[in-house]
Amino acid sequence: MLGTTLLLLIGLLALAVPVAAGLGVLGLALAEIYAKLPLSLAIGELSWATSNNFLLVAIPFFVLLGEILLRSGIAERMYNALVLWVPWLPGGLMHTNIATCAMFAATSGSSVATAATIGTVAMGEIHKRGYSEQLFLGTIAAGGTLGILIPPSINMIVYGVLTDTSIPKLYLAGFVPGIILASLFCLTVLVCCLIRPDWGGKRTSASWGNRVRALPDLIPPVVIFISVLGSIYAGWATATESAALGVIAALGIAAWHRAISVKMLLQAFEGTMRTTAMIMAILIAAYFLNFVLSSIGLIGKVNDLIMGLRLTPAQLLFAVIVFYVILGMVMETLSMMVATVPIIAPIIFKAGFDPVWYGVLFVILIETAMITPPVGINLYVVQGIRQGGRINDVIVGSLPFVLAMFAMLAIISIYPNLALWLPRVASG
């Protein structure tokens, strides 16, 4: 049964079937082969139950929030302000890429949106200032992954729904590891540019007066961050309601800059509908696949197989990390998340690991998958914005940051309190 499932999944991936369709077809095929009852009749009920989840309403709000920031030019102003603060560092604007991704991550909740937005703004600087093209592209692809670790995060919402874990606690838990990972990315750039100074491009300078005058352009992400997370922890709003408040704040800031127009809003709405439709299609198909896997007994067999290995908790965790690193190379991240979390997470929890801590670890694994070939989605996002050259340039430029993510996985595994400290403080 497990072998048939893997063969069908690999076959669908090899045929480049769209993710949502592939998961749905796999579920229908397994139901037809192994189920004694017509499980396909449950598709309607599962589709309604999945799309009717109140927490998932936050997804289109966060997507719309990122679209507004991009279309209104707020993200570009934020980037240009940060440019003035880091020219003295070896690597210059590559640190700006990572810092801007981290700030944008604190408003958007999406890695793809973060990489696409910052990439669109930064791409023209590569040849203008003589940077190593590969490393520069790598900073955008890797920095974009911070969009799902630094709160708010769409993937954390999905994880919270799948495992019944507190989303406010997940948000708090992701903050410190997100800052540490961003710092590791900057350290990676620094080391690379110290080893190869020619990769760091031409040094630029900026006066303190210009830096101070640019500070107001860094206020919008702070306002939105406080609107979203502050409303949650003050008890004024749920995660979904806070996402709506973030959209209102973004619209208010765009109006302040006189950047709202009918054309801009229509473009933002269209982008939101496209992205949300893709996410929901994957979620519905994956929920149906999980329902089929549970009904035919495959999930129970996988659990029995893993428990029968009698691994220690540390060995189990290492095995899960290796499993996701390998799987992330060949499977799209959201579908991988929805298809595997209901199977793997209960085993991890049973071994004594904290659900909130594991959520952060899992998101870092998802981030790693986003920049590992051949299916790393951020690699293709950056290459698409680049509109030329070979995808190999983005892949090679991202490899140092994959190593930084492995270091982060080790750090969070050895020091779990880095993720759990803020949730514990907040809960008193």
SS (H, E, C) 205-250: CCCHHHHHHHHHHHHHHHHHHHHHHHHHHCCCCCHHHHHHHHHHHH
**Structure token digits, residue 1:** 């049964």
What is the rounded distance in angstroms from the CA atom of residue 365 to the CA atom of residue 352? 19
CA 333 to chain centre: 9
- The residue assigned the tokens 């590559």 is 94
- The residue assigned the tokens 């880091």 is 86
Other C-beta atoms closer than 10 Å to the C-beta of 22 total: 23
308: left (phi over 0), alpha (psi -120 to 50) or beta: alpha
pLDDT (tens, 9 = 90+) of the chain, 428 residues, equals: 656 766 776 676 667 666 677 777 877 887 777 777 677 767 777 777 767 777 778 778 888 888 888 788 888 888 888 888 776 778 888 888 898 888 888 777 777 778 887 888 888 777 777 788 899 999 999 998 998 898 888 889 889 988 999 988 999 999 999 999 999 999 999 999 999 888 877 777 777 788 888 888 888 888 888 888 888 777 788 878 888 888 999 899 899 888 889 999 999 899 888 878 877 777 777 777 777 777 777 666 766 776 677 788 999 999 889 888 887 776 667 777 877 888 889 889 988 999 999 999 999 999 998 898 876 778 888 887 787 778 888 889 999 999 999 999 999 999 999 999 998 887 76
Rounded to 5°, the CA angle 280-283-289 comes to 145
| Residue 131 DSSP SS3 | strand
Model pLDDT for residues 36-54, shown as the tens digit of each residue: 767 776 777 777 776 777 7
Cα→Cα distances 376→80, 165, 330, 342, 402, Å: 28, 27, 8, 22, 11
What is the rounded distance in angstroms from the CA atom of residue 408 to the CA atom of residue 363? 11
The model's pTM:
0.82
Domains in the chain: boundaries: 2-426
Model pLDDT for residues 366-411, shown as the tens digit of each residue: 999 889 887 677 888 888 778 777 888 888 999 999 999 999 999 9
Rg (CA), the chain: 22
